[in-house]
Amino acid sequence: MFRLDPFEHLGRRSPSSPSGPGQGIGLSLRWHSAEASHVDSRVLRCPERDEGSQALLARLEAQGTEPLTRAFGAGELVPDRDDGQQVRIPGSLFPRTRGHLQIEPRIGRFYPGALLAGNPELTPGPPTAFRVTSVAPDGTITLDFNHPLAGRPLELDLRLLDLVSPGEPPANLGRAAVTNGPGMQARWRGQPTDFHSDRPYERPDSRPDAEFYAEPRMVQHLDDTARAQIRALYGALIPGNGRVLDLMSSWTSHLDPDRHSGEVAGLGMNAEELAANAKLSERVVQDLNLDPCLPWSESRFDAVICTVSVEYLTRPVSVFREVRRVLRPGGRFVLTFSNRWFPPKAIALWPELHEFERMGLVLDFFLAAGRFGNLGTWSLRGLPRPAGDPYAARLAFSDPVYAVWGEAA
């Protein structure tokens, strides 16, 4: 399994560092699904040094820069799969509207437990997220209230960081590692998720993209910490002297100059933005939603990256097939994104999904395109926002980073 250290350069505690109250704990959860390998990392405020946490903190201090690792069998860290947590309901009990939203039960998708408020007999426990696993011809719907990671072996890395994280200290580190998302990116028992109903690729702004992107936007879409993590991820996944295609590029390519010295071709929507990108040795202006065919020969690139842009593709599978064509065998296609985007141009499905489900959607693009292997997902949440960031007064946390990749067969 891929082992990028998400806490490199971010206050990893050295063995000689004194312990103190300004510390956090870095968690990395590693697991596998039938489709991919997964790493979900987050940073938490260090627990108070009470009787319950003293022994753990002492062990973490003794580890120094090395993580403390523990493997968990199915049912140890999260409850094991329980068929009693699957409930069949008449279709009439599934609310089809919530405010101005129209909601349909789609197989494999997750929905908030609050959607069933007023029907407490339907929930086996307190309201939580549930997954739709089947919709029968007579309208009967099966809901799965099992944890998304139920039934899976898990591995958890913990390390002490000289890095203060916002928020309250967790009551249980293991529970915090599996809360609010991990597991949602995997298919339910290998069955394809229904991401494709309800016209998912429509967008609020139906004008040609060339009009929307006519004016250059020389701005950063993520904070400094999130961008540093993206650079580190690309540096770990991409050969340092390889030829790279920066797909849906702009005025910066998010490649670490200390790790990458190879040629970089950029394809984007605005000529001025591309001209301002000093990393690029080749520049192409092209709207992939009008023409997904890439103007390069087969096996031209060692890697392709796409940074905070996949949510704008209206023909994603066609683009992924083209990427596979221009990648050399074994070359990686790496996509990164966060929870920020241009709302008028994002596909309709994107804001409807939980952040971890979006990784599942991008995995689905790889699987639909075919001839990609060694698929992986990666997430990082909970880092503190840089003090000098324009949004630091309103947002305590750095922008989360999500990544999905695959290798051309």
pLDDT band at 126 (very low <50, low <70, confident <90, very high): low
pLDDT band at 105 (very low <50, low <70, confident <90, very high): very high
- Report the distance separating Cα 306 and Cα 4, nearest Å: 19
What percent of the chain lies above the pLDDT cut of 90? 78
Mean pLDDT of the chain: 91
C-alpha dihedral sign at 27, 193, 309, 340 = negative
The CATH number assigned to the domain with range 209-408 reads 3.40.50.150
Among 45-54, 79-88, 128-137, 208-217, the minimum mean pLDDT is found in: 45-54
Q: What is the mean pLDDT of residues 95-119?
A: 86
Q: What is the mean pLDDT of residues 68-84?
A: 95
pLDDT band at 21 (very low <50, low <70, confident <90, very high): very low
For strand 264-268 and strand 244-249, is the pairing parallel, antiparallel, or unpaired? parallel
| pLDDT tens track for 301-341 | 999 999 999 999 999 999 999 999 999 999 999 999 999 99
pLDDT at 3: 63
For strand 372-381 and strand 86-89, is the pairing parallel, antiparallel, or unpaired? unpaired
Q: How many residues does the chain have?
A: 409
Give 72's contacts (C-beta < 8 A, 6+ positions apart): 153, 154, 155, 156
Q: Provide the 8-state DSSP code for 54.
A: H
What percent of the chain lies above the pLDDT cut of 70? 92
Helix, strand, coil content of the chain in percent (nearest 5): 20, 25, 55
For strand 68-72 and strand 130-135, is the pairing parallel, antiparallel, or unpaired? unpaired
Higher pLDDT, 358 or 169: 358
